[in-house]
Amino acid sequence: MTTLDRAAAELIVIKVGSSSISGERRGQIEPLVDALAALHRTGRVILVSSGAISTGMPFLGLDERPADLPMQQAAAAVGQNVLMNRYQRSLSRHEVIAAQILLTASDMDMDSHRVNARNALERLLELRMLPIVNENDTVATHEIRFGDNDRLAALVAKLVGADRLILLSDIEALRTAPPGEPGSEPIGVVPYGDPLEGVRLGASGSHIGSGGAMTKVDAARLAADAGVRVTVTATPLLARLVAGERLGTEFEPNPAPER
CATH class of 3-251: alpha beta
* Residue 6 pLDDT: 55
The reply to whether 254 sits in an annotated binding site is no
228: closest CA among 248, 252, 247, 249? 252
For residue 29, give every residue at least 6 positions away whose Cβ sits within 8 Å of its Cβ, in sequence order, or none.
Answer: 21, 86, 87, 90
Q: Which residue numbers in the chain have pLDDT < 50?
A: 1, 8, 144, 203-210
* Residue 148 pLDDT: 67
The reply to whether 169 sits in an annotated binding site is yes
Q: Per the confidence metrics, is the pTM higher than 0.85? A: yes
37: closest CA among 4, 59, 15, 60? 4
The reply to whether 137 sits in an annotated binding site is yes
* Residue 197 pLDDT: 78
104-157 pLDDT per residue, tens:
878 888 899 999 999 999 999 999 999 999 988 787 765 545 656 899 999 999
48: closest CA among 85, 87, 82? 87
Amino acid at 132: I
The reply to whether 149 sits in an annotated binding site is yes
Q: Domain boundaries in the chain?
A: 3-251
136: closest CA among 116, 118, 152? 152
SS3 state of residue 49: strand
DSSP label at residue 95: T
Listed in order, strand segments (DSSP E) in the chain are 11-16, 44-49, 98-103, 130-135, 164-169, 189-190, 229-234, 249-251
216: closest CA among 172, 247, 182? 172
Q: How many other C-beta atoms lie within 10 A of the C-beta of residue 212?
A: 19
Residue pair 213/220 in contact (Cβ under 8 Å)? The answer is: no
